Amino acid sequence: MAVTPEFAPRALQTLSGLRFSTATSAFQIEGARTLDGRGRSIWDEFVDEPGNVIDSSTADPGPDSYHRSAEDAALLAGLGVDRYRFSISWVRIIADGMAGTKPNTAGLDYYDRVVDELLGVGVTPEPTLYHWDLPTALEAAGGWLNRDTVHRFGDYVDAVADRLGDRVRHWYTINEPASTSLQGYALGELAPGHTMLFDALPTVHHQLLAHGTATTILREHGAEQVAPAINHSLILPETDTEADHEAAATLDLIYNRLFADPLLLGEYPDLEALGAQMPIRDGDMELISTPCDVYGFNYYNPTTVRGVGEGPLPFEMVPTPGAATTGFGPLWPIRPDTLRDFLIDMRTRYGSKLPPIVISENGASFPEPEVGTEPIRDDERIAYLHEHLEAVAEAIVAGVAIVGYTVWSLLDNFEWADGYTQRFGLVHVDMNTGHRTPKSSYQWYRDLIASVRA
Protein backbone atom coordinates (compact mmCIF):
# COMPACT_ATOMS: atom_id res chain seq x y z
CA MET A 1 0.00 0.00 0.00
CA ALA A 2 1.27 3.47 -0.90
CA VAL A 3 2.34 5.79 1.89
CA THR A 4 0.16 8.91 2.07
CA PRO A 5 2.39 11.94 1.44
CA GLU A 6 2.65 14.60 4.11
CA PHE A 7 3.62 18.25 3.96
CA ALA A 8 6.58 19.67 5.82
CA PRO A 9 5.55 22.11 8.59
CA ARG A 10 6.91 25.06 6.61
CA ALA A 11 4.80 24.14 3.57
CA LEU A 12 1.69 23.82 5.74
CA GLN A 13 2.37 27.25 7.19
CA THR A 14 2.82 28.68 3.68
CA LEU A 15 -0.49 27.17 2.56
CA SER A 16 -2.35 28.46 5.61
CA GLY A 17 -3.33 31.67 3.84
CA LEU A 18 -5.24 29.85 1.10
CA ARG A 19 -8.98 29.44 0.81
CA PHE A 20 -9.66 25.85 -0.25
CA SER A 21 -12.31 24.88 -2.75
CA THR A 22 -13.43 22.25 -5.20
CA ALA A 23 -15.29 22.64 -8.48
CA THR A 24 -17.80 21.21 -10.95
CA SER A 25 -19.78 22.46 -13.94
CA ALA A 26 -23.47 22.31 -14.77
CA PHE A 27 -23.44 20.20 -17.93
CA GLN A 28 -21.01 17.73 -16.40
CA ILE A 29 -22.98 16.96 -13.22
CA GLU A 30 -26.60 18.10 -13.39
CA GLY A 31 -28.29 15.72 -15.82
CA ALA A 32 -31.99 16.58 -16.24
CA ARG A 33 -31.33 17.90 -19.74
CA THR A 34 -35.02 18.11 -20.70
CA LEU A 35 -36.66 19.04 -17.40
CA ASP A 36 -38.29 22.20 -16.10
CA GLY A 37 -37.94 24.42 -19.13
CA ARG A 38 -34.23 23.87 -19.79
CA GLY A 39 -33.28 24.71 -23.37
CA ARG A 40 -30.65 23.17 -25.61
CA SER A 41 -26.99 24.13 -25.65
CA ILE A 42 -24.19 23.39 -28.08
CA TRP A 43 -23.21 20.49 -25.83
CA ASP A 44 -26.66 18.94 -26.14
CA GLU A 45 -26.20 19.03 -29.89
CA PHE A 46 -22.66 17.66 -29.62
CA VAL A 47 -23.48 14.67 -27.40
CA ASP A 48 -26.58 13.77 -29.40
CA GLU A 49 -24.52 13.43 -32.59
CA PRO A 50 -23.29 9.80 -32.83
CA GLY A 51 -19.52 9.43 -32.72
CA ASN A 52 -18.71 12.68 -30.94
CA VAL A 53 -18.35 11.16 -27.46
CA ILE A 54 -15.98 8.25 -27.02
CA ASP A 55 -18.37 6.07 -25.00
CA SER A 56 -21.61 7.47 -26.52
CA SER A 57 -22.70 8.86 -23.13
CA THR A 58 -24.85 11.98 -23.06
CA ALA A 59 -24.34 13.51 -19.58
CA ASP A 60 -27.83 12.43 -18.53
CA PRO A 61 -28.44 11.47 -15.80
CA GLY A 62 -24.76 11.16 -14.78
CA PRO A 63 -24.26 12.42 -11.21
CA ASP A 64 -27.81 13.86 -11.38
CA SER A 65 -26.96 16.83 -9.20
CA TYR A 66 -30.16 18.53 -10.35
CA HIS A 67 -31.93 16.16 -7.97
CA ARG A 68 -29.06 15.49 -5.53
CA SER A 69 -27.67 18.93 -4.74
CA ALA A 70 -28.30 18.47 -1.02
CA GLU A 71 -26.05 15.38 -1.06
CA ASP A 72 -23.34 17.42 -2.75
CA ALA A 73 -23.64 20.14 -0.11
CA ALA A 74 -23.26 17.52 2.62
CA LEU A 75 -20.12 16.17 0.93
CA LEU A 76 -18.69 19.68 0.78
CA ALA A 77 -19.46 20.21 4.45
CA GLY A 78 -17.69 16.96 5.31
CA LEU A 79 -14.71 17.98 3.23
CA GLY A 80 -14.36 21.25 5.10
CA VAL A 81 -13.80 23.48 2.06
CA ASP A 82 -14.28 27.21 2.35
CA ARG A 83 -15.85 27.61 -1.07
CA TYR A 84 -17.49 25.69 -3.90
CA ARG A 85 -17.10 26.67 -7.52
CA PHE A 86 -20.01 25.41 -9.64
CA SER A 87 -21.49 26.70 -12.86
CA ILE A 88 -24.92 27.95 -13.84
CA SER A 89 -26.45 26.58 -17.02
CA TRP A 90 -27.27 29.45 -19.37
CA VAL A 91 -30.08 27.42 -20.98
CA ARG A 92 -31.72 26.69 -17.63
CA ILE A 93 -32.12 30.45 -17.21
CA ILE A 94 -32.71 31.74 -20.77
CA ALA A 95 -33.82 28.66 -22.68
CA ASP A 96 -32.87 29.90 -26.16
CA GLY A 97 -30.53 32.68 -25.08
CA MET A 98 -32.32 35.17 -27.30
CA ALA A 99 -33.29 38.77 -26.63
CA GLY A 100 -36.73 39.13 -25.10
CA THR A 101 -36.99 35.57 -23.76
CA LYS A 102 -38.18 35.63 -20.17
CA PRO A 103 -35.95 34.02 -17.54
CA ASN A 104 -37.04 30.52 -16.59
CA THR A 105 -38.34 30.61 -13.03
CA ALA A 106 -37.73 26.88 -12.48
CA GLY A 107 -34.07 27.24 -13.42
CA LEU A 108 -33.59 30.21 -11.13
CA ASP A 109 -35.37 28.31 -8.35
CA TYR A 110 -32.89 25.45 -8.69
CA TYR A 111 -29.83 27.65 -8.31
CA ASP A 112 -31.54 29.59 -5.54
CA ARG A 113 -31.83 26.29 -3.69
CA VAL A 114 -28.20 25.33 -4.42
CA VAL A 115 -26.98 28.64 -3.01
CA ASP A 116 -29.09 28.29 0.14
CA GLU A 117 -27.93 24.69 0.66
CA LEU A 118 -24.30 25.79 0.45
CA LEU A 119 -24.76 28.72 2.79
CA GLY A 120 -26.60 26.42 5.16
CA VAL A 121 -23.49 24.25 5.58
CA GLY A 122 -21.09 27.18 5.80
CA VAL A 123 -19.68 26.98 2.26
CA THR A 124 -19.33 30.14 0.17
CA PRO A 125 -20.97 29.73 -3.27
CA GLU A 126 -18.83 30.80 -6.23
CA PRO A 127 -20.88 30.39 -9.41
CA THR A 128 -19.30 30.39 -12.85
CA LEU A 129 -21.61 32.02 -15.38
CA TYR A 130 -20.26 30.43 -18.55
CA HIS A 131 -18.78 26.94 -18.63
CA TRP A 132 -19.11 26.12 -22.35
CA ASP A 133 -22.90 25.61 -22.59
CA LEU A 134 -23.80 28.24 -25.20
CA PRO A 135 -27.49 28.18 -26.22
CA THR A 136 -28.02 26.42 -29.54
CA ALA A 137 -30.05 29.30 -30.97
CA LEU A 138 -27.17 31.71 -30.36
CA GLU A 139 -24.73 29.33 -32.02
CA ALA A 140 -27.03 29.20 -35.04
CA ALA A 141 -26.69 32.99 -35.21
CA GLY A 142 -22.89 32.77 -35.16
CA GLY A 143 -22.16 31.92 -31.54
CA TRP A 144 -19.00 33.52 -30.18
CA LEU A 145 -18.15 34.71 -33.69
CA ASN A 146 -21.10 37.09 -33.39
CA ARG A 147 -20.71 40.20 -31.24
CA ASP A 148 -24.41 40.07 -30.37
CA THR A 149 -23.69 37.01 -28.20
CA VAL A 150 -21.91 39.36 -25.78
CA HIS A 151 -25.12 41.35 -25.30
CA ARG A 152 -27.21 38.21 -24.85
CA PHE A 153 -24.73 37.00 -22.24
CA GLY A 154 -25.22 40.29 -20.44
CA ASP A 155 -28.99 39.74 -20.37
CA TYR A 156 -28.48 36.31 -18.82
CA VAL A 157 -25.94 37.56 -16.26
CA ASP A 158 -28.31 40.32 -15.20
CA ALA A 159 -31.14 37.82 -14.66
CA VAL A 160 -28.94 35.55 -12.54
CA ALA A 161 -27.44 38.38 -10.49
CA ASP A 162 -30.86 39.89 -9.90
CA ARG A 163 -32.02 36.60 -8.36
CA LEU A 164 -28.88 35.47 -6.51
CA GLY A 165 -26.91 38.66 -5.93
CA ASP A 166 -28.34 39.24 -2.47
CA ARG A 167 -26.48 36.13 -1.24
CA VAL A 168 -23.73 35.49 -3.79
CA ARG A 169 -20.76 37.84 -3.55
CA HIS A 170 -18.10 35.84 -5.43
CA TRP A 171 -18.45 35.12 -9.15
CA TYR A 172 -16.49 33.67 -12.04
CA THR A 173 -17.47 35.04 -15.43
CA ILE A 174 -16.15 32.72 -18.17
CA ASN A 175 -14.35 29.41 -17.89
CA GLU A 176 -11.41 28.42 -20.09
CA PRO A 177 -12.05 30.62 -23.12
CA ALA A 178 -8.95 29.13 -24.76
CA SER A 179 -10.65 25.74 -24.89
CA THR A 180 -13.79 27.22 -26.42
CA SER A 181 -11.86 29.12 -29.08
CA LEU A 182 -9.14 26.59 -29.87
CA GLN A 183 -10.83 23.24 -29.37
CA GLY A 184 -14.40 24.33 -30.07
CA TYR A 185 -14.05 26.72 -33.01
CA ALA A 186 -10.52 26.23 -34.41
CA LEU A 187 -9.86 22.48 -34.19
CA GLY A 188 -13.31 20.91 -33.82
CA GLU A 189 -12.48 18.70 -30.84
CA LEU A 190 -15.20 20.12 -28.59
CA ALA A 191 -18.60 21.75 -29.15
CA PRO A 192 -19.57 23.42 -31.40
CA GLY A 193 -17.13 21.36 -33.46
CA HIS A 194 -15.90 23.92 -36.02
CA THR A 195 -12.53 23.65 -37.76
CA MET A 196 -11.86 27.30 -38.57
CA LEU A 197 -8.21 27.48 -37.46
CA PHE A 198 -7.13 31.13 -37.17
CA ASP A 199 -10.48 32.38 -38.49
CA ALA A 200 -11.78 31.49 -35.02
CA LEU A 201 -9.88 34.37 -33.39
CA PRO A 202 -12.93 36.67 -33.08
CA THR A 203 -14.32 34.16 -30.57
CA VAL A 204 -11.46 35.13 -28.26
CA HIS A 205 -12.35 38.81 -28.41
CA HIS A 206 -16.05 38.27 -27.89
CA GLN A 207 -15.56 35.95 -24.91
CA LEU A 208 -13.26 38.48 -23.29
CA LEU A 209 -15.82 41.21 -23.97
CA ALA A 210 -18.40 38.97 -22.30
CA HIS A 211 -16.15 38.79 -19.25
CA GLY A 212 -15.85 42.58 -19.10
CA THR A 213 -19.59 43.02 -19.60
CA ALA A 214 -20.39 40.52 -16.85
CA THR A 215 -17.92 42.15 -14.47
CA THR A 216 -19.67 45.49 -14.84
CA ILE A 217 -23.13 43.98 -14.31
CA LEU A 218 -22.10 41.90 -11.31
CA ARG A 219 -20.53 44.86 -9.56
CA GLU A 220 -23.72 46.82 -10.10
CA HIS A 221 -25.43 44.00 -8.17
CA GLY A 222 -22.99 44.25 -5.25
CA ALA A 223 -20.40 41.61 -6.16
CA GLU A 224 -17.28 41.69 -3.99
CA GLN A 225 -15.08 39.34 -6.05
CA VAL A 226 -15.27 38.86 -9.81
CA ALA A 227 -12.77 36.89 -11.87
CA PRO A 228 -12.35 34.95 -15.10
CA ALA A 229 -11.11 31.34 -14.96
CA ILE A 230 -8.34 31.16 -17.56
CA ASN A 231 -6.66 27.89 -18.49
CA HIS A 232 -2.90 28.09 -18.84
CA SER A 233 -0.10 25.70 -19.72
CA LEU A 234 3.66 26.15 -19.63
CA ILE A 235 4.79 25.53 -23.21
CA LEU A 236 8.05 23.59 -23.58
CA PRO A 237 10.12 23.04 -26.76
CA GLU A 238 10.82 19.37 -27.43
CA THR A 239 14.47 20.10 -28.19
CA ASP A 240 16.79 23.10 -28.11
CA THR A 241 16.46 23.71 -31.85
CA GLU A 242 15.37 27.10 -33.15
CA ALA A 243 12.34 25.53 -34.83
CA ASP A 244 11.09 24.01 -31.57
CA HIS A 245 11.67 27.24 -29.63
CA GLU A 246 9.73 29.19 -32.26
CA ALA A 247 6.92 26.63 -32.09
CA ALA A 248 6.80 26.97 -28.29
CA ALA A 249 6.69 30.76 -28.53
CA THR A 250 3.82 30.58 -31.03
CA LEU A 251 1.71 28.27 -28.88
CA ASP A 252 2.48 30.34 -25.78
CA LEU A 253 1.15 33.37 -27.63
CA ILE A 254 -2.02 31.56 -28.75
CA TYR A 255 -2.79 29.66 -25.57
CA ASN A 256 -1.55 31.98 -22.82
CA ARG A 257 -0.76 35.55 -23.85
CA LEU A 258 -3.74 35.88 -26.21
CA PHE A 259 -5.96 35.81 -23.11
CA ALA A 260 -3.83 37.13 -20.26
CA ASP A 261 -2.40 40.15 -22.11
CA PRO A 262 -5.74 41.81 -22.94
CA LEU A 263 -7.17 41.02 -19.50
CA LEU A 264 -4.16 42.35 -17.59
CA LEU A 265 -2.46 44.79 -19.96
CA GLY A 266 -5.37 46.00 -22.06
CA GLU A 267 -3.80 44.96 -25.36
CA TYR A 268 -3.33 41.86 -27.48
CA PRO A 269 0.12 40.48 -28.23
CA ASP A 270 1.42 40.97 -31.79
CA LEU A 271 -0.73 38.70 -33.97
CA GLU A 272 0.83 39.68 -37.30
CA ALA A 273 2.58 36.33 -37.62
CA LEU A 274 -0.81 34.61 -37.47
CA GLY A 275 -2.18 36.78 -40.26
CA ALA A 276 -5.14 37.72 -38.12
CA GLN A 277 -6.80 40.78 -36.67
CA MET A 278 -9.25 41.17 -33.81
CA PRO A 279 -12.60 42.92 -34.38
CA ILE A 280 -11.78 45.67 -31.88
CA ARG A 281 -14.07 48.68 -31.46
CA ASP A 282 -13.61 51.82 -29.42
CA GLY A 283 -13.84 51.05 -25.72
CA ASP A 284 -13.43 47.30 -26.10
CA MET A 285 -10.00 46.98 -24.57
CA GLU A 286 -10.92 49.18 -21.63
CA LEU A 287 -13.91 46.94 -20.93
CA ILE A 288 -11.90 43.73 -21.31
CA SER A 289 -9.18 44.99 -18.97
CA THR A 290 -11.56 46.10 -16.23
CA PRO A 291 -9.47 45.21 -13.16
CA CYS A 292 -10.18 41.75 -11.76
CA ASP A 293 -10.41 41.21 -8.01
CA VAL A 294 -8.52 37.95 -8.39
CA TYR A 295 -7.20 36.06 -11.40
CA GLY A 296 -8.62 32.56 -11.84
CA PHE A 297 -5.88 30.23 -13.04
CA ASN A 298 -6.73 26.70 -14.25
CA TYR A 299 -3.69 24.44 -14.52
CA TYR A 300 -3.27 20.74 -15.25
CA ASN A 301 -0.03 20.11 -17.13
CA PRO A 302 2.66 21.58 -19.37
CA THR A 303 2.56 21.16 -23.15
CA THR A 304 5.59 20.12 -25.19
CA VAL A 305 5.73 21.07 -28.87
CA ARG A 306 7.78 20.34 -31.94
CA GLY A 307 8.17 22.76 -34.84
CA VAL A 308 6.77 21.56 -38.17
CA GLY A 309 7.76 22.93 -41.54
CA GLU A 310 4.41 22.64 -43.26
CA GLY A 311 0.80 22.24 -42.26
CA PRO A 312 -2.13 24.30 -41.00
CA LEU A 313 -0.39 24.85 -37.63
CA PRO A 314 3.31 25.64 -37.12
CA PHE A 315 3.64 23.21 -34.21
CA GLU A 316 2.83 19.67 -33.16
CA MET A 317 2.09 18.62 -29.59
CA VAL A 318 4.29 15.73 -28.47
CA PRO A 319 4.90 13.75 -25.25
CA THR A 320 6.98 15.46 -22.58
CA PRO A 321 10.24 13.51 -22.24
CA GLY A 322 10.66 11.66 -18.95
CA ALA A 323 7.30 12.64 -17.47
CA ALA A 324 4.72 10.31 -15.95
CA THR A 325 1.21 10.83 -17.31
CA THR A 326 -2.40 10.89 -16.13
CA GLY A 327 -5.19 8.69 -17.43
CA PHE A 328 -5.47 10.89 -20.52
CA GLY A 329 -2.16 9.53 -21.79
CA PRO A 330 1.08 10.97 -23.16
CA LEU A 331 -0.15 14.52 -23.83
CA TRP A 332 -1.15 14.98 -20.17
CA PRO A 333 2.26 14.84 -18.43
CA ILE A 334 2.70 15.23 -14.68
CA ARG A 335 5.23 18.00 -14.06
CA PRO A 336 4.26 19.97 -10.93
CA ASP A 337 7.43 22.06 -11.19
CA THR A 338 5.95 23.69 -14.29
CA LEU A 339 3.05 25.05 -12.22
CA ARG A 340 5.53 26.78 -9.93
CA ASP A 341 7.54 28.06 -12.88
CA PHE A 342 4.48 29.37 -14.72
CA LEU A 343 3.17 31.17 -11.64
CA ILE A 344 6.54 32.87 -11.17
CA ASP A 345 6.62 33.73 -14.87
CA MET A 346 3.15 35.32 -14.59
CA ARG A 347 4.37 37.55 -11.75
CA THR A 348 7.46 38.51 -13.76
CA ARG A 349 5.53 39.14 -16.97
CA TYR A 350 2.63 41.17 -15.56
CA GLY A 351 4.02 42.65 -12.36
CA SER A 352 1.62 44.93 -10.51
CA LYS A 353 -1.07 44.37 -13.16
CA LEU A 354 -1.52 40.79 -11.93
CA PRO A 355 -4.07 40.59 -9.11
CA PRO A 356 -3.89 37.86 -6.48
CA ILE A 357 -4.22 34.43 -8.08
CA VAL A 358 -6.74 31.73 -7.27
CA ILE A 359 -5.88 28.29 -8.61
CA SER A 360 -9.41 27.81 -9.90
CA GLU A 361 -8.86 24.26 -11.21
CA ASN A 362 -6.17 21.64 -10.64
CA GLY A 363 -6.64 17.89 -10.74
CA ALA A 364 -6.07 14.65 -12.57
CA SER A 365 -7.89 11.67 -14.04
CA PHE A 366 -6.71 8.11 -13.44
CA PRO A 367 -8.28 4.71 -14.28
CA GLU A 368 -10.83 3.69 -11.66
CA PRO A 369 -13.70 1.17 -11.40
CA GLU A 370 -17.13 2.09 -12.70
CA VAL A 371 -18.78 0.71 -9.55
CA GLY A 372 -17.25 1.93 -6.32
CA THR A 373 -16.77 -0.17 -3.20
CA GLU A 374 -15.23 1.36 -0.10
CA PRO A 375 -12.44 2.10 0.33
CA ILE A 376 -11.64 3.52 -3.11
CA ARG A 377 -7.93 4.22 -3.04
CA ASP A 378 -6.68 6.79 -5.54
CA ASP A 379 -3.10 7.22 -4.42
CA GLU A 380 -2.02 8.58 -7.79
CA ARG A 381 -4.44 11.49 -7.42
CA ILE A 382 -3.25 12.16 -3.89
CA ALA A 383 0.36 12.26 -5.11
CA TYR A 384 -0.61 14.60 -7.97
CA LEU A 385 -2.45 17.03 -5.70
CA HIS A 386 0.24 16.91 -3.02
CA GLU A 387 3.02 17.68 -5.51
CA HIS A 388 1.07 20.52 -7.12
CA LEU A 389 0.25 22.07 -3.76
CA GLU A 390 3.94 21.90 -2.90
CA ALA A 391 4.56 23.78 -6.16
CA VAL A 392 2.00 26.39 -5.10
CA ALA A 393 3.78 26.77 -1.76
CA GLU A 394 7.11 27.24 -3.56
CA ALA A 395 5.58 29.93 -5.78
CA ILE A 396 4.20 31.74 -2.72
CA VAL A 397 7.64 31.66 -1.09
CA ALA A 398 9.04 33.10 -4.35
CA GLY A 399 6.71 36.07 -3.99
CA VAL A 400 3.63 35.16 -6.03
CA ALA A 401 0.37 36.31 -4.40
CA ILE A 402 -1.85 33.21 -4.34
CA VAL A 403 -5.00 33.26 -2.23
CA GLY A 404 -6.96 30.15 -3.19
CA TYR A 405 -6.69 26.57 -4.42
CA THR A 406 -9.43 24.54 -6.09
CA VAL A 407 -9.46 20.80 -6.80
CA TRP A 408 -11.12 19.65 -9.98
CA SER A 409 -13.38 17.95 -9.21
CA LEU A 410 -15.72 17.26 -6.32
CA LEU A 411 -17.42 14.46 -8.28
CA ASP A 412 -16.63 12.07 -11.07
CA ASN A 413 -18.53 13.61 -13.97
CA PHE A 414 -19.08 13.80 -17.71
CA GLU A 415 -15.68 14.60 -19.17
CA TRP A 416 -16.86 16.18 -22.43
CA ALA A 417 -15.81 14.25 -25.56
CA ASP A 418 -14.30 11.56 -23.30
CA GLY A 419 -17.65 10.88 -21.65
CA TYR A 420 -17.37 8.81 -18.49
CA THR A 421 -14.02 7.24 -19.42
CA GLN A 422 -12.05 9.79 -17.38
CA ARG A 423 -12.69 10.28 -13.65
CA PHE A 424 -11.44 13.40 -11.86
CA GLY A 425 -13.52 13.25 -8.68
CA LEU A 426 -12.62 13.25 -5.02
CA VAL A 427 -15.93 11.39 -4.83
CA HIS A 428 -16.68 8.33 -6.95
CA VAL A 429 -20.03 8.37 -8.76
CA ASP A 430 -21.77 5.27 -10.07
CA MET A 431 -23.18 6.69 -13.30
CA ASN A 432 -25.97 4.10 -13.37
CA THR A 433 -27.33 4.94 -9.93
CA GLY A 434 -25.77 8.29 -8.98
CA HIS A 435 -24.46 6.76 -5.75
CA ARG A 436 -21.58 8.76 -4.28
CA THR A 437 -18.60 7.18 -2.51
CA PRO A 438 -15.77 9.36 -1.16
CA LYS A 439 -12.33 8.21 -2.30
CA SER A 440 -9.15 8.26 -0.25
CA SER A 441 -8.28 11.59 -1.91
CA TYR A 442 -11.42 13.07 -0.32
CA GLN A 443 -10.15 12.01 3.10
CA TRP A 444 -6.66 13.33 2.29
CA TYR A 445 -7.96 16.74 1.18
CA ARG A 446 -10.21 16.93 4.25
CA ASP A 447 -7.26 16.16 6.53
CA LEU A 448 -5.04 18.67 4.73
CA ILE A 449 -7.59 21.46 5.19
CA ALA A 450 -7.95 20.58 8.87
CA SER A 451 -4.16 20.55 9.32
CA VAL A 452 -3.73 23.92 7.66
CA ARG A 453 -6.36 25.43 9.95
CA ALA A 454 -4.96 23.84 13.12
Neighbouring CB atoms inside 10 A of 24's CB total: 24
193 touches 52 (CB < 8 A): yes
Q: Which residues contact 443 (CB under 8 A, 6 or more apart)?
A: none
Nearest to 20 by CA among 333, 449, 419, 399: 449
State yes or no: is 238 an active-site residue: no
> Cα(22)–Cα(266) distance, rounded to whole angstroms?
30
CA of 251: how far to CAs of 87, 130, 178, 257, in Å? 28, 24, 11, 9
Q: Which residues contact 183 (CB under 8 A, 6 or more apart)?
A: 189, 190
> Cα(72)–Cα(321) distance, rounded to whole angstroms?
39
User: What strands lie across the sheet with 235-237, from one edge to the other?
Assistant: 235-237, 303-307, 315-318
Catalytic residue among 361, 368, 390, 394: 361
326 touches 368 (CB < 8 A): no
State yes or no: is 374 an active-site residue: no
> Cα(248)–Cα(271) distance, rounded to whole angstroms?
15
Nearest to 298 by CA among 263, 327, 256: 256
Q: What is the DSSP letter of 267?
A: S
Nearest to 359 by CA among 36, 6, 15, 10: 15
> Cα(432)–Cα(424) distance, rounded to whole angstroms?
17
Please give the torsion angle defined by the CA atoms of residues 406, 408, 410 and 411, in that order, rounded to the nearest 10 degrees.
170
Q: Annotated active-site positions, please?
A: 176, 361
